[in-house]
Amino acid sequence: MAADLSHAGARELIPPHVLERVPGCEGGQPPIAVARSSGGSVNTTWRVVTSAGRFVVRLHGEDPAALGIDRTREARLHAAAARADLAPALVYADPGGAFLITELLEGRPWKPGDFADPACLTRIAGTLKVLHSLPPPAVPRFDPAAILRRHVERIVQAEPSAAAELEALLARALAVLNALEGEGRTPCIVHNDLHHSNVIGWERPRLIDWEYAGVADPLFDLACVHAYYPQSARFDRLLLEETGLARAATPESLRLAGWLFVLLAYLWHRSRRISGAAGSGDLEAERELRERL
């Protein structure tokens, strides 16, 4: 957490109508402390301490549709996970999608190396097994094909010379999706963004930042781990066993799904670069992902 801001600074940086939704500040009372959280390249996140507790305020940036985000879907799936104690309690979701307030989740933050540790992978797999067993609320299905097409169209519009390369990647991705769908796994709630910064807690890992959550193939959560942390690949069988997917998916299926998520991440970073929102970290990630494709 960064250094605390003054009360006046908090009011300047967090809009008053947002602060008023934080428990303990409903009547205009100032927070006890406010600090900006590190991490995140799209949103601005604040930790807010009040007389009622400790909370996280996330102010949303950029066009959510362009990034494949549905704020209503996010709120409903986050709330379902929170009821199962897999996510922080959802305090308030702005109906317009401009901000989100949750309780602050305490616990040990994960590190990239945890995804090469069998003990850690066993624990996160246990969290995913519970998540995938929850009855999904009525939300639109996660549609990776539509997201891929939207990214490709946006990039090609800005860079016509990229059309042949990207259309070939898109064709391969659609074939992979068709093959995965043919394996018949039941769609369920998936977090879809298992970056280490979104995992809190050692004994009972819980998940934050549900922006990309959806109802989809449960293999997608393991594919996301593959995409972010290729070092986890040697533990594919462990992940499949501990999530209860070993009878419904093979390591080869997981490898294909992992490639698909590498492509999704690559196009996400490339789309951000075209929009002018990418930072140096995004550019480096884009280069690394391109090499893996």
The CATH number of whichever domain residue 48 belongs to comes to 3.30.200.20
Higher pLDDT, 3 or 274: 274
Residue 2 in domain: no
255 and 188 in one domain?
yes
Cβ atoms of 112 and 65 closer than 8 Å = no
Residue 80 has pLDDT above 70, yes or no: yes
* 3-class DSSP assignment, residue 44: strand
Give the integer Cα–Cα distance in Å for 150 and 222: 24
Residue 63: per-residue pLDDT: 60
Residue 40 pLDDT level (bands cut at 50, 70, 90): low
Question: pLDDT > 70: what percent of the chain?
Answer: 91
pLDDT tens string 105-127: 999 999 999 999 999 999 999 99
List of long-range contacts for 253-257, beta carbons under 8 Å, 24+ apart: 253/179, 253/180, 253/183, 253/219, 254/219, 254/222, 254/223, 254/226, 255/226, 256/176, 256/179, 256/180, 257/176, 257/180, 257/217, 257/219, 257/220, 257/222, 257/223, 257/226
85 and 24 in one domain?
yes
Residue 69: per-residue pLDDT: 80
Residue 41: per-residue pLDDT: 59
How many domains are contained in the chain? 2
246 and 123 in one domain?
yes
277 and 137 in one domain?
yes
> Mean pLDDT throughout 49-70?
82
**Global pTM?**
0.89
Residue 1 in domain: no
> Mean pLDDT throughout 219-236?
96
Q: What is the mean pLDDT of the chain?
A: 91
Residue 285: per-residue pLDDT: 87
187 and 47 in one domain?
no
Residue 3 pLDDT level (bands cut at 50, 70, 90): very low
Residue 85 has pLDDT above 80, yes or no: yes
Residue 13 pLDDT level (bands cut at 50, 70, 90): confident
Residue 62 pLDDT level (bands cut at 50, 70, 90): low
Residue 274: per-residue pLDDT: 85
Domain extent, residue 138, equals 112-292
pLDDT tens string 189-211: 999 999 999 999 988 999 999 99
Residue 1: per-residue pLDDT: 40
> Mean pLDDT throughout 173-188?
96
Residue 43: per-residue pLDDT: 80
Residue 39 has pLDDT above 60, yes or no: no
